[in-house]
Amino acid sequence: MELENEAEILELVEHLDRVIPKDGAHLTIGADPDGNTTVGNRLGYLRFGLEFLSAALRPLPSSESAPDRIVPDLDRLLTEGSGTPFDLCELDEAIGSRPPIRSALGPLGELFTAVIVVAALILVVLAGAVVVRWMFG
């Protein structure tokens, strides 16, 4: 995809890169499985956004081992112990026109699966009750 004003955007990003210092910019992205805690200073968040803007303006083409992607330079920004959910930032220009991802089971399959899971849970509870009654009287 070509942006009409890509040269102007690149110029703005280069200007922001000069005026937003890298030194003192810190960001911690929690390494917990939920990944819902991010802590940083203002410079850290500004640099984070700028690194993504810069990477989006210079995407890497696909190769045999990777799709089209952007690679933001976050190494110097992230604090020690940070986890990053940005190992692969894949580019897909058609993402806005694709239908939402749906389960391959379909609505009836999902309902049937839910009924089976509930039935299995009921059987586990009943079996546990039988075992307890057998053991204790």
* CA–CA dist 80, 137 (Å, integer): 58
What length is written for the chain?
Answer: 137
* CA–CA dist 3, 9 (Å, integer): 9
116 and 52 assigned to the same domain: no
Of residues 48 and 66, which shows the higher confidence score?
48
Segment 67-124, tens digit of pLDDT: 888 888 888 888 887 877 777 788 777 777 777 666 667 778 788 888 999 999 999 9
**Is 67 domain-assigned?**
yes
Predicted confidence at residue 101, as pLDDT, reads 67
Domain encompassing residue 55: 6-97
87 and 23 assigned to the same domain: yes
Say if residue 21's pLDDT is above 70.
yes
92 and 111 assigned to the same domain: no
Say if residue 49's pLDDT is above 90.
yes
DSSP, res 60: B
Predicted confidence at residue 100, as pLDDT, reads 67
**Is 1 domain-assigned?**
no
64 and 125 assigned to the same domain: no
85 and 40 assigned to the same domain: yes
Predicted confidence at residue 32, as pLDDT, reads 65
Say if residue 65's pLDDT is above 60.
yes
Q: What are phi and psi of 4, to 5 degrees?
A: -60, -40
85 and 113 assigned to the same domain: no
Band of the pLDDT at 2, cuts 50, 70, 90? low
109 and 128 assigned to the same domain: yes
pTM of whole model > 0.85? no
Band of the pLDDT at 14, cuts 50, 70, 90? very high
Q: What is the mean pLDDT of residues 3-29?
A: 90
Q: Give the closest residue to 76 by CA, choosing from 36, 103, 43, 115.
A: 43
49 and 64 assigned to the same domain: yes
Say if residue 1's pLDDT is above 60.
no
68 and 121 assigned to the same domain: no
